[in-house]
Amino acid sequence: MAAFPLRHLRGCGKMCTFAKHNPNLTNNQARTMKYYEIGKTGMKVSALSFGASSLGGVFHEINENRALDAVYTAVDNGMNFIDVSPYYGHYKAETVLGKALSNIDRGKYYLSTKVGRYGKDGVNTWDYSAHRAKESVYESLERLHIDYIDLINVHDVEFSDLNQVINETLPALCELREEGVVKHVGITDLQPENLQYIIDRVPQETVESVLCFCHYCLNDDMLVDYFDYFESKGIGIINASPFAMGLLSKRGVPDWHPAPKALVEACQKATKHCEAKGYPIEKLAIQYAISNPRIATTLFSSANPDNVKKNIQYVEEPIDWQLVKEVQDIIGDQKRVRWANS
Binned average pLDDT, 10 residues per bin, the chain of 342 residues: 36 30 42 90 98 87 95 97 97 97 97 97 95 98 98 97 98 98 98 98 98 98 98 98 96 89 97 98 98 98 96 96 98 95 78
Contact assessment for residue 298 and residue 47, using Cβ atoms and an 8 Å cutoff: yes
* CATH code at position 35: 3.20.20.100
Instruction: Decide the pairing of beta strands 209-213 and 182-189.
Output: parallel
In a domain, 3, yes or no: no
Contacts of 215 (CB under 8 A, 6+ apart): 190, 192, 221, 222, 223, 239
In a domain, 25, yes or no: yes
Judge whether 88 counts as a catalytic residue.
Answer: yes
Residue 14: per-residue pLDDT: 28
Task: Give me the helices (H) in 157-277, please.
Answer: 162-164, 170-179, 192-199, 227-232, 261-276
Which position among 36, 88, 128, 226 bears the catalytic label?
88
In a domain, 258, yes or no: no
Q: How many folded domains does the chain comprise?
A: 1
Helix (H, G, I), strand (E, B) or coil at 83: strand
- State the DSSP H helix or E strand holding residue 304, giving kind and residue range, or none if neither: none
In a domain, 269, yes or no: no
Residue 24: per-residue pLDDT: 40
Instruction: Look up the domain containing 315 and give its range.
Output: 10-253+280-322
Q: How many residues does the chain have?
A: 342
In a domain, 268, yes or no: no
Q: What is the dihedral of CA 180, 97, 52, 281, to 10 degrees?
A: 140
Residue 7: per-residue pLDDT: 32
First and final C-alpha spacing in the chain: 32
Q: What is the dihedral of CA 86, 10, 37, 46, to 10 degrees?
A: -60
Residue 339: per-residue pLDDT: 87
In a domain, 329, yes or no: no
Residue 121: per-residue pLDDT: 87
In a domain, 239, yes or no: yes
Residue 302: per-residue pLDDT: 95
Residue 15: per-residue pLDDT: 31
In a domain, 166, yes or no: yes
CB burial string 18-41: b at 16+ within 10 A, e below: ebeeebebeeebbeebebbebbeb
